Structure 1
Amino acid sequence: MRSTYAIKDFWKETYKTDSPIPFIITAQVVVFLVVHLFKLLSDTENMSTSVYAWVFEQGSLPNSFAHFIKQPWSILTYSFLYANIFNLLFDCLWLYFIGNTFLNLLNRRQFLTVYCGGALLGGALYLLFNEFPVFSSNSPYLNTSSMALGALIMSTTTLVPRSELRLFLFGNVKLYVLAAIFLILQFGYFFLNDKTAAISYSLVILTGYLFMQALKNGKDWSLVFKKRQKRKLKVVHHAAKRYASTNKQNELSNQEVIDGILDKISADGYESLTSQEKETLFKASKED
């Protein structure tokens, strides 16, 4: 009975929330296990053609548009493939900590815009640059979640650069320090192994920075994906007009408060906020 309750509590606390992070991490782990199960089967049955290699290739993003047309799903699957478990664990840890920092300040729609947008934009740029011989990649395909993760890390760091993460051996470390180390190392890896991916990665990071700068200036790019409710024709009385006018003024006033809180975070970090300001920011993100 206790184990049943424990499983239910885990499911409720992990998956029945507004956070998409558990679903992304679960998908990455499941894909890793399934793909490497094919590798195990190929090794034990001594197949002439490795099923693992075929599945891995089909899920990876090819370095030519002509090849991509034959497997268009790879623009979605390439960011879920991992060749070894250490890269998987490392990226999942980054996604967990940085993603939750992002969601503590902003909403789910904005998170998905940055993360999924980074993956799709990175893949599209990779295909585009490979069409030019001067940028053509030596690698046959691309498989990494670093495009999405890079956009997320840059956006979060732009919003709260002085936020801190507690590391086991080093104590509290500023987010901008960790972000700089991660982004530079990842860019260096791409530059040495796949210069086309390095160029695409740089532009994705820049886009993550521009997204957050635009948001600070009151322009939310993620609103493109917000569902618009159909307006119904109805009789509007003068009292309703006065209420609508008052409601509009309240919305503008609330937006000014949120903008002020975001400016304070950018200048002094999330820790500088009062409990009331944190609650206001949290409520605003849920309302969006």
Structure 2
Amino acid sequence: MRRPSAYRYIRFDLIWIPAVKWLMIINVAIFILQGISGIRPFYDLGLVPRSIWHDGKIYQLVTYMFFHGGFWHLAFNMLALWMFGSMMERTWGTRRFLKYYFLTGIGAGISTFLFTINSTIPTIGASGAIYGLLVAYAVTFPEHTIYLYFFIPIKAKYFAMIFAFIEFMASIAQPFHGDSIGHIAHLGGMVIGFVYLKHHNIWIWFGKTLRKTLDRTQKRQRVKEEREKENIRQDIDQILDKINRVGYQNLTKKERKTLDQGSAYLRDREKQQ
């Protein structure tokens, strides 16, 4: 059955959809608490790729979605969440909407993790999930009209294609101009959302592949750390042998420094295990 032609245009009403409402409330509340407290825990709760595999902070793949770096960052994300999220939750239902929202948000975080695995710079924001919602809207309602910059009418499918192209080019150019925008996360959210909507079974393969990748990465890191510890132990043993022979007072400054730093390093590693 064909929908009335008027339905081809996005219609946003003031009816609050449950999941969208609570996602907006939580995001805004966290942003307000950041401002009141002055605390910006981006390195603990933002997505820091190195912390995920080195310190096991897997939870960052979820928590990073609820923190924003500034008012306009939050405002644009919440506006898009209300626009596209309300339509998708109304169409899919709350349960499927939330599953998709977190799937694309976490998937965007995983994309950032895989492409910047040793980075210590935090990524924050719901943008990955928001871009995923844009794709969902374009796939579900490809002929609907969206007003680009509120003035230029464009079909949803072309709107999503334009933004995908922009994010793709920006992610390629980012190493050269070095902006702080999470283009990889944006593109990752779009790609993962599209693949999920078109090929559900691929996620079984993707999950297995991701687990294997994480296991290999953690194994390599453990081997590297064990080698470092073994080298430090050998250096310390040599210094201790010298102490037994000639006494601590006859150590060089370099040997004393090596002994102190090596002992401290080994103690720290033992505490972390």
What TM bracket, shorter-length normalisation? 0.5 to 0.7
Question: In the alignment, does 2:69 pair up with 1:80?
Answer: no
| Corresponding residue of 2:139 | 158
> What's the offset of the Cα at 1:180?
3.2
Residues 1-288 of structure 1 aligned to structure 2 (within 5 Å):
14=16, 19-39=18-38, 52-53=39-40, 55-64=41-50, 65-69=52-56, 71-131=57-117, 136-137=118-119, 140-165=121-146, 169-170=150-151, 172-191=153-172, 192=174, 193=178, 198-199=183-184, 201-214=186-199
> What's the offset of the Cα at 1:117?
0.3
> What's the offset of the Cα at 1:141?
1.5
> What's the offset of the Cα at 1:68?
4.6
> What's the offset of the Cα at 1:88?
0.9
Number of aligned residue pairs = 185
SS of the residue aligned with 1:22?
helix
Q: Give 5+ residue unaligned stretches, structure 1.
A: 1-12, 40-51, 222-288
Q: Using the alignment, how far apart are the partners of 1:57 and 1:178 within structure 2?
A: 34
Structure 1 residues 168 and 122, CA gap change in structure 2 (3 angstroms): closer
> What's the offset of the Cα at 1:172?
4.3
SS of the residue aligned with 1:103?
helix
> What's the offset of the Cα at 1:126?
2.6
> What's the offset of the Cα at 1:201?
4.2
Query: Which residue identity does 2:129 align to in structure 1?
Result: A
Contact 1:79–1:119 (CA under 8 A) maintained in structure 2: yes
Q: Using the alignment, how far apart are the partners of 1:107 and 1:180 within structure 2?
A: 26
SS of the residue aligned with 2:146?
strand
Q: TM-score, normalised by structure 2?
A: 0.57
Q: Using the alignment, how far apart are the partners of 2:191 and 2:47 within structure 1?
A: 22
User: CA deviation digits over 1:47-89, x for unaligned, max 9?
Assistant: xxxxx34x232221112134552x4432221011111101111
Structure 1 residues 116 and 194, CA gap change in structure 2 (3 angstroms): farther
User: CA deviation digits over 1:159-212, x for unaligned, max 9?
Assistant: 211112357851644222432344444445554247995445434322211222
Q: Using the alignment, how far apart are the partners of 1:60 and 1:146 within structure 2?
A: 13
Q: Using the alignment, how far apart are the partners of 2:148 and 2:53 within structure 1?
A: 45
Structure 1 residues 35 and 93, CA gap change in structure 2 (3 angstroms): same
Query: Which residue identity does 1:146 align to in structure 2?
Result: S
Q: Using the alignment, how far apart are the partners of 1:38 and 1:124 within structure 2?
A: 29
Taking only aligned residues, the RMSD between alpha carbons, in angstroms, comes to: 3.3
Looking at CA atoms only, which structure, 1 or 2, has the larger radius of gyration?
Answer: 2
| Corresponding residue of 1:234 | none
User: CA deviation digits over 1:121-159, x for unaligned, max 9?
Assistant: 22233333434xxxx54x611112121112221122112
Contact 1:154–1:205 (CA under 8 A) maintained in structure 2: yes
Q: Give 5+ residue unaligned stretches, structure 2.
A: 1-14, 204-273
Contact 2:107–2:192 (CA under 8 A) maintained in structure 1: no
Q: TM-score, normalised by structure 1?
A: 0.54
Query: Which residue identity does 2:109 align to in structure 1?
Result: G
Q: Using the alignment, how far apart are the partners of 1:62 and 1:130 within structure 2?
A: 9
Contact 2:69–2:125 (CA under 8 A) maintained in structure 1: no
Structure 1 residues 26 and 67, CA gap change in structure 2 (3 angstroms): farther
Q: Using the alignment, how far apart are the partners of 2:126 and 2:157 within structure 1?
A: 20
State percent identity of aligned pairs: 20
Query: Which residue identity does 2:84 align to in structure 1?
Result: I
| Corresponding residue of 1:249 | none
